[in-house]
Amino acid sequence: MSYQLKTKAQSESGAAKGSAAVTSTVASVIADVRERGDAAVREYSQKFDNWSPSDFRLTQEQVKEIVAGVPAQVLDDIRAVQNNVRAFAEHQLNSIREFEVETMPGVFLGQKHLPVTAVGAYVPGGRYPLLASAHMTVLTAKVAGVSRVTACTPPIRGEIPGATVAAMHFAGADEILLLGGVQAVAALAVGTETIKPVDMLAGPGNAYVAEAKRQLFGEVGIDLFAGPTEILVIADHTADPFLVAVDLLSQAEHGPDSPAILITTSESLGQAVLGHIDRLLPGMPTKDFAGPAWRDHGQIHVVEDLDAAWPLADAFAAEHVEVLTANPRQALSAMHNYGALFLGEGTCVSYGDKVIGTNHTLPTRGAARYTGGLWVGKFLRTITYQEVTNEESSAALGELCGRAARAEFFEGHARSGDIRLARHTGSLPDWATAAIHA
């Protein structure tokens, strides 16, 4: 038995139309940047951001000057957060094992991990200067061993976002571009006269940036297909309804299309959360985003017990899942589909977004069913190698390869195996004898 106290509003009739417009606009900008390079990038930057400096790339002297103008407390906080992110990324890196095994006498198979050579890290501006995105993309790529990270961020209302530049610099960015939007993503992917192309794009952005990454995927790698941020809270009768309400709104403020969902075993808690949200929203400085998000994308589900809560939560496959129950660690074995778990009232999604050290670039729109979020391994390519030094083993593999390949009608593959078998036996197969004496 389950029912909803609050259902998602059906006010999305223009979504498909808007998406088509975004797709068309993005395709046009990418094609123009591909055709005209720097000239197109400069025109779009002037048009969308009123920004057209002599060079979008900051010099080391400019970076130092910008960082020097950032308040000391902000710089200290950036360093503290990046220490957390770096430590976790290094633990992840140390968990990835290279190996070499001898599977047969003289048959050596191995695995190693090579970092992507060049990454473009997009750090959004727009509504907010998202410093944390610099930590999550630039720093994680550098821990993975990426040799060139080009970080870009747009100016905010014509101003240089000093704290964002400091974050990208401290994270280890090799180049910093004051450039945003589709024009930045396209320039990084295809290259221009002054911007070297990268192998992979990482970092969140608005609908246009996300669409640009989607269209460029294949030509370059990307981290994730990202949509609006999401929060799902699982709460039982032990949870604090005021805390639940605050946490739901903390993610709703990202934008008017951000889902905020509560699954609870307690109807009275659900009713209390509704009341707190009604009282909290009017006083929120970000109510213009949080209000529509809660109105159009907020949900409260009441279920009979936690055994019913876990599968319902899995069906959402939400980006962020807070578990505010008497035994929150139960979720580690009970749940399967989520971007990140936040267990107990001592932590929250905002910690993951901003400070705790785990990566905040996570799957949205149900993608947690098949992928995890950004991590150090996303910037690594797992490479295999093989070596056969024992002639008898090579012959045995050659004989097997001949049969296996002919079962698939791949005669050329089979002959590669035949000839190695023949080197061991000293007896050429008929096809080889015929070819030699032709």
β-pair type (107-115, 175-178): unpaired
Tokens read off for 135: 């930590």
Query: Could you say which of 175, 211, 230, 319 is catalytic?
Result: 319
Would you call 319 a catalytic residue per the annotation? Answer: yes
Our answer to whether residue 320 is catalytic in this structure is yes
CA 154/CA 271 separation, integer angstroms? 42
CA distance 227 to 250: 17
Find the helix packing angle between 267-280 and 241-252, rounded to 10°: 50
Contacts of 120 (CB under 8 A, 6+ apart): 149, 150, 151, 152, 185, 188, 189, 198, 200, 201, 202, 220
Question: Which is the catalytic residue, given 320, 322, 345, 360?
Answer: 320
- Hey, how many other C-beta atoms are within 10 angstroms of the C-beta on 52? 13
Residue with tokens 């951000």: 258
How far apart are the C-alpha atoms of 376 and 358, rounded to whole Å? 11
Question: Which residue is listed with tokens 């905010």?
Answer: 156
* Residue 369 neighbours by CB distance under 10 Å: 12
Closest to 293 (Cα-Cα) out of 333, 332, 252, 321 = 252
In 167-230, the DSSP E strands lie at 175-178, 200-202, 221-222
Q: Which of 49, 26, 39 is closest to 154 using CA atoms?
A: 49
Give the angle 196-223-198 at the CA atoms, nearest 5°.
10
Report how far Cα 139 is from the mean position of its chain's Cα atoms: 14
Count of residues in the chain = 438
So which residues are the catalytic ones? 319-320
